Amino acid sequence: MKPAPFAYERPSDVAGVLALLGDGGPQKAILAGGQSLVLALARRARTPELVIDINRIAGLDAITVDGEGCLVIGATARLEEVRVHPAVRSGWPLIAEALGLVANPVVRRRGTLVGNLSNNGPGCEMAAVALVLDAEFVVERLGSDPSRVPSAIFLTLGGTVGFVTAVRFPPPSPGGFAFVELSRRPQHVCTLGAAVQLGPAGPVIALAGFATAIRCTAAEHASTPEALRAALAADLAGAGSADTLDEYRHDVAAVLVGDALAVARSRAA
């Protein structure tokens, strides 16, 4: 549990990161909160030649609402800072609720939202939230303008697309919301999590827990418990396997989504 040797750089601006990152690849690792990366290094699951520490880049930790009313969360903004941020709590409460279930308070104070989503590990709650809220990722690469990558694409590519400087959430749709999850033990890694946001067009639903988070569009149109069960079966038909608990996930998805919808509707009322 000691990392293999690597070199370490601590650039002071984004340009410095891009220069060091070059074409990226497994030989380069970006160190933000480090709550996943350092463990991967210690277990030698990752053995990069260069670790690029972005923690001292000024301004990268900003949490702001931009001119278009979007919530923009910088690459080094800590999970806990996002969770308690007044703008997040009032405008995007689903984010705050889900963050309360991510890891634990100490890890949340260090880990970053962008890092959490870039890793998109098993049971990543925020991936489901990103799908529901239609988040996009601001990605910079050497020699090109920043691009915006939608969640649906980003979550399958992960941190390989370039240097993610921020995640952006569109303006809020006022309505009930809920994030509920199941785990092997309370406060443990999420086995299955349901994110629900009610909007003018009805509920938006996504599930975390399978190989990656899944937007459940069929379920969004189901009106009875039986219909929900059938719709989720369709939504999850192609879900990638996470571990030995897949059968359980399929079994309880309808119950969990039903619970989340009930909570969301009680809040909308």
Partner 1 sequence: MTGVGTNRVAIIVDGRAVAADVEPRTLLADFLRDTCGAVAVHIGCGEGTCGACTVALDGIAVRSCLMLAVQADGGTIVTAAGLAALDGPPDAQNLTPLQLAFRAHHALQCGFCTPGILVATALFLRANPHPTRAEIVDHLSGHLCRCTGNVPIIAAIEAAAGATAP
Partner 2 sequence: MTRPLRFGTRTPRREDPDLLRGEGKFLADLIPQGALWLTVVRSTDAHAIILGLDAEAAKAMPGVAAIVTAADLPAGLGHLPCVDLIDTSLPVFHPVLAGERIRYAGQPIAAVVASTPAQAEDAAAAVIVATRKLAPVLSAADALRPESPWLYPELGTNAVHVTRQLVGDPDAAFSVAALVVEETVAVHRVGAAPMEMRGCFGEVEPGSGRLVLTSTTQIPQSVRAHLAEILTRPAESILVRAPRLGGGFGLKEAMYPEEVLVLLLAERLGRPVAFLEDRREHFRSAVQAREETIRIRAAFAVDGTATAVDVACLADIGGAYGLVANAPGAAIANARGGYVMPNFRSVATSVVTNKPPLNVYRGAGHPQAVLAMERVMDKAATALGIDRAAIRRHNLIPAWMLPLDRGISYSGLPRQILDSGDYVHAFDMTLEAIGYAAFPARKAAFEAAHPRRKLGLGLSFMVEMTAVGPDEPAEIEVLPDGRVRLHAALTAMGQGIETVLGQVVADTLGIDLDAVEISLADTDRIPFAVGTYASRGGAVGGSAAAKAGKALIEVATDLGADLLGVDRSAVEWSEGAIVRRDGTNEPLPLVELARLAASAGRADALRASVRFAVPDTSFAYGAHAAIVEVDTGTGVVTVLDYAVTHDCGRLGNPMIVDGQIVGGVTQGIGATLYEEIAFDAAGRPLTQGFFDYPIPVAATAPRFHLLHLETPSPHNPLGMKGAGEAGFTGTPAAITNAVADALGQDLPLTRDPGPLSPARIRALLREREVAQAAGFSA
45 makes contact with partner 1 (CB under 8 A): no
Residue among 107, 248, 262, 265 that touches partner 2 (CB under 8 A)? 248
**What distances in angstroms separate CA 169 from CA 60, 141, 201, one per listed residue?**
16, 21, 18
Is residue 1 within the footprint of partner 2 (CB under 8 A)?
yes
Using rule CB under 8 A, residue 5 touches partner 1: yes
Query: Out of 64, 89, 91, 109, which residue is the one contacting partner 1 (CB under 8 A)?
Result: 109
Q: Which of residues 32-91 bind partner 2 (CB under 8 A)?
A: 43-44
Quick check: 43 binds partner 1 (CB under 8 A)? Answer: yes
To the nearest whole angstrom, how small is the minimum distance from the Cβ of residue 4 to partner 2? 7
Q: Which does 245 bind (CB under 5 to 8 A by kind): partner 1, partner 2, none?
A: partner 2
Q: Please say which residue, 2 or 8, places its beta carbon nearer to partner 2.
A: 2
Q: Smallest gap, in angstroms, from Cβ of residue 257 to partner 2?
A: 11
Separation of alpha carbons 169 and 166, rounded Å: 10
- Residue 41 or 232 having the CB closest to partner 1: 41
Position 3 contacts partner 2 (CB under 8 A): yes
- Each residue 125-164 as x (binds partner 1 by CB under 8 A) or -, in order, gives ----------------------------------------
Binding interface with partner 2 (CB under 8 A): 1-5, 43-44, 182-189, 191, 244-245, 247-248, 251-252, 255-256, 259
Instruction: By CB under 8 A, name the binding residues for partner 1.
Output: 1-8, 10, 31, 34-35, 38-39, 41-43, 49, 51, 53, 55, 100, 103-107, 109-110, 187
